[in-house]
Amino acid sequence: MSKQDILTVEDVFCMLDSKLADQAKQWDNFYSERWAKAPFIIHPELPDENIKEYFSSGLITPKTVLELGCGEGRNAVYMARQGCEVTAVDLSEAAIDNAKTFSKNSNCNVNFICASIFELGNKTYDFVYDSGCFHHLPPHRRITYVELLRRTLNQGGYFGLTCFAWGDKCADEVTDWEYYEKRRVGVAFTKEKLEQIFCEDFEVVEMRKYKDGKEGTLQGLGFMWTALFKKK
Ligand SMILES: C[S@@+](CC[C@H](N)C(=O)[O-])C[C@H]1O[C@@H](n2cnc3c(N)ncnc32)[C@H](O)[C@@H]1O
């Protein structure tokens, strides 16, 4: 069988992935040139404001957490500090190296894994969090993404998402078909689109814009949705 045979749905996804840029390499470059390219992540040690609010208000009290596309580990370390057993995954070796250093310097124990989220096994968690990874995935990968959530979340578990909002001119405001034709920085979502993708499996606990200005949290993300879903 040649690498280019298409015999399964996964083969179709792999072929479509290969037509897009080399994601891991792009992200490695991003982290090595981060100061120039991502001025909004100027405090890579601070957590998202919504994550801090979920924990401090007692809205969620997970024992086990999986973070998808954890970058340099700012949210993973925050959740470990809240007493959670955290596994955090990212494609970029540069990001995971920085995350391990940050976690060690913070005296935290996080299980960092350098891999694609689509290579994860069947271990289950009380809370799965994604800050800024989902909106970089091509539309065909949303199918496997929802499957991943189904198999990695415990019954009644929570899924948290922070992603680009449509209408804020912060990312590509394109249809799923247009994504494959136009240049991509990341996909912007409407509330309705997020509901369409997730609400067969999840109920919305809250969906709102990111609140800038909260002490001890990352600033400059007011153009993002934050959403908390509960597995049905
Ligand atoms: C915008 S960054 C956000 C990083 C981090 N969550 C934060 O907010 O600081 C998106 C991250 O998703 C990661 N990523 C993208 N696609 C991925 C995949 N298929 N599997 C694992 N990580 C992925 C990238 O390497 C990158 O670190």
Domains of the chain, residue spans: 9-231
Q: What pTM value is reported for the model?
A: 0.93
**Percentage of the chain modeled with pLDDT above 90:** 71
With the most atoms of ligand 1 within 8 angstroms of its CB, the residue from 43, 129, 136 to mutate is 136
Ligand 1 contact via 51 beta carbon (within 6 Å)? no
Nearest Cα residue to 41 out of 6, 74, 90: 74
The answer on pLDDT for 36 being more than 70 is no
Q: What are phi and psi of 178, to 5 degrees?
A: -65, -30
| Least trusted range by pLDDT, from 24-38, 48-62, 108-122 | 24-38
Ligand 1 contact via 157 beta carbon (within 6 Å)? no
Ligand 1 contact via 60 beta carbon (within 6 Å)? no
Ligand 1 contact via 71 beta carbon (within 6 Å)? yes
| Least trusted range by pLDDT, from 89-98, 176-185, 210-219 | 176-185
Ligand 1, residue 38: give the atom nearest the CA.
1
Identity at 6, one-letter amino acid code: I
pLDDT digits over 190-229, tens only?
999 999 999 999 999 999 999 999 999 988 899 999 999 9
Ligand 1 contact via 89 beta carbon (within 6 Å)? yes
Nearby residues of 33 by Cβ (< 8 Å), 6 or more positions away = none
Ligand 1, residue 44: give the atom nearest the CA.
9
Distance (Å) from CA 231 to ligand 1 centroid: 23
Ligand 1 contact via 136 beta carbon (within 6 Å)? yes
Q: Contact 176/139 with Cβ under 8 angstroms?
A: yes
- What pLDDT sits at residue 7? 93
Per the prediction, the chain carries an average pLDDT of: 90
The answer on pLDDT for 154 being more than 90 is yes
- SS (HEC) of the chain: CCCCCCCCHHHHHHHHHHCCCCHHHHHHHHHHCHHHHCCCCCCCCCCCHHHHHHHHCCCCCCCEEEEECCCCCHHHHHHHHCCCEEEEEECCHHHHHHHHHHHHHCCCCEEEEECCHHHCCCCCEEEEEEECCHHHCCCCHHHHHHHHHHHHEEEEEEEEEEEEECCCCCCECCCHHHHCCCCCCCECECHHHHHHHHCCCEEEEEEEECCCCCCCCCCCCCCEEEEEEEEC
With the most atoms of ligand 1 within 8 angstroms of its CB, the residue from 14, 65, 90, 119 to mutate is 90
Measured between alpha carbons, how far is 87 from 93 in angstroms, rounded to an integer?
16
pLDDT, mean of residues 133-138: 94
pLDDT confidence band for 183 (50 / 70 / 90): low
- What pLDDT sits at residue 33? 66
Atom 5 in ligand 1: which residue has the minimum CA distance? 71
- What pLDDT sits at residue 180? 85
Q: Which CATH architecture has domain 9-231?
A: 3-Layer(aba) Sandwich (3.40)
